[in-house]
Amino acid sequence: MISFEEALRLLDEHVKPGATVEAPLLESLGLTLARPIAARADSPRFDASAVDGYAVSRSDFSNGLPVVLSIAGTIHAGAASVKSLKPGSKHRPRCTHRIFTGAPVPKGADAIVMQENVAVADNKVTFTTVPTSGAYIRKRGAEFQRGEHLFEPGTILTPAVAQSLAACGFARVYIHARPSVSIIITGDELRPPGTKLHSGEIWDSNATALEAALHALGITNVHTQHVSDNARSTTRAIRSALERSDVIIATGGVSVGERDYVKEAFAANGVREIFWRVRMRPGMPLYFGVKLENGRTKYIFGLPGNPVSVMVTFQLFARRAVRCLMGHAAEEAHEKGVLAAPLKKSVARMEFVRAYRERTSGPLSTVVPLAARESNMTTGMARADALIVFPEEQEFLAEGSEVEIIPIQWGPY
């Protein structure tokens, strides 16, 4: 049996980012860039007006105020060609161009005056202040220039990043693909929700929980199967899953019971055990292994069968591995909080206590442990937004003490 920290270290050592594929932006949300992105053009691509107003040459303001200019034309956003604005002279009347936000600034103009600051009558504009040089002009390349590196590999494709890439002209990007996942549910007593139960049977919540957790990560290529508690069925199901998926998650049958066949079925299919049994509660029988199948590494998890154990071990281990395959860095978003009630446990195992956080005026949240601590009690997990880390070597945590907490997160970022 190994420590929680050692189990995480071994997981991170073996799981690497997955395959690189090119995909449309909208199909890449939550994933990470596999290649650097360089700008295809300057931004802005041309000098553009930042407001609705009038394009002027400041040389026309050299003889004092007010200044009256004729409207020589109108420039809309998207204008394909724009006439230059030439300063007034003895033989040429002084003029201005009506211009709209985003429209290209004509050559010869060195400022924009907002429409709210002028008076317009009879196709003439009266200006009562001298504009500053470059006023309300978005200069070409002010944000970035062609060839400039914008995003590095590992950048998460959030909606804002997708917007920025689209603004740069990218419709497709190279990303680390979402893995395919097989879920294997063991347990003769389990029946699908909504069906009638007979004596000794219970509704299966683990399949729903794992599918929902994977969907929250954006993973929909999920195959779920229920298998009977016998060695042959379990071995056959794991063999099929290894051929089909990048990640295999089995629940139940991974401990040392008389009808626990999952670990033995992993071995029968050539899975190399990385660790089995972790000094933690819930989730002590956790198994992790790998296998090279058809030139690709497959990652195999054996989670305990109790519903809360499934959720906690998925949150701390399987989710971490899946996100790594998608190119995400390992989450280390541990926080501190103030314990709202005392906690007791026996030594020898680290415990992860379901809790919720209450925001306070102080720098730390108040962390309230939930009473439903047994690994079959799903309501505690449903109400929790954090896990209190109860250290392995401690038996008691006092009310008001500062504790480490791990926020419960389901989405990809």
List, in sequence order, every residue forming a beta bridge with 48; answer none if it has no partner.
104, 138
Are residues 35 and 127 located together in one domain of the fold? no
CB atoms under 10 Å from CB of 18, counted, come to 24
What distance in Å separates the CA atoms of residue 43 and residue 170, rounded to the nearest whole number? 14
Are residues 312 and 353 located together in one domain of the fold? no
pLDDT digits (tens, 9 = 90+) for 170-212: 999 999 999 999 999 998 888 888 899 889 888 989 999 999 9
- Inform me whether the pLDDT recorded for 87 exceeds 90: no
What distance in Å separates the CA atoms of residue 41 and residue 24, rounded to the nearest whole number? 20
pLDDT band for 276, please (50, 70, 90 cuts): very high
Are residues 184 and 307 located together in one domain of the fold? yes
Which structural domain, as residue segments, surrounds residue 100?
48-138
Helix (H) or strand (E) holding 262: helix 262-268
Residue 258: predicted pLDDT: 65
Residue 82 lies inside a defined structural domain of this protein: yes
Pairing of strands 222-227, 287-293: unpaired
Q: How far is CA 8 from the centre of its chain?
A: 21
Are residues 29 and 169 located together in one domain of the fold? yes
pLDDT digits (tens, 9 = 90+) for 310-327: 999 999 999 999 999 999
Helix (H) or strand (E) holding 379: helix 378-383
Are residues 166 and 27 located together in one domain of the fold? yes
Residue 412 lies inside a defined structural domain of this protein: no
CB atoms under 10 Å from CB of 393, counted, come to 7
- Inform me whether the pLDDT recorded for 374 exceeds 80: no
Pair 73, 18: CB distance under 8 Å? no
Are residues 183 and 305 located together in one domain of the fold? yes
Number of structural domains the chain divides into:
4
What number is the average pLDDT over the span 54-64?
Answer: 93
Residue 257: predicted pLDDT: 66
pLDDT digits (tens, 9 = 90+) for 110-164: 999 999 999 999 999 999 999 999 999 999 999 999 999 999 999 999 999 999 9
Ranking 141-155, 267-281, 332-346 by mean pLDDT, the lowest is 332-346
pLDDT digits (tens, 9 = 90+) for 353-367: 999 999 877 789 999
Residue 164 sits in a domain of what CATH number?
3.90.105.10
What number is the average pLDDT over the span 33-44?
Answer: 96
Are residues 224 and 244 located together in one domain of the fold? yes
Pair 348, 42: CB distance under 8 Å? no
The rounded percent of the chain whose pLDDT value lies above 90 is 80
Are residues 200 and 258 located together in one domain of the fold? yes
Residue 330 lies inside a defined structural domain of this protein: no
| Domain termination site, one of 307, 325, 343 | 325
What distance in Å separates the CA atoms of residue 53 and residue 50, rounded to the nearest whole number? 9
Q: What is the mean pLDDT of the chain?
A: 93
Are residues 32 and 170 located together in one domain of the fold? yes
What distance in Å separates the CA atoms of residue 406 and residue 386, rounded to the nearest whole number? 5
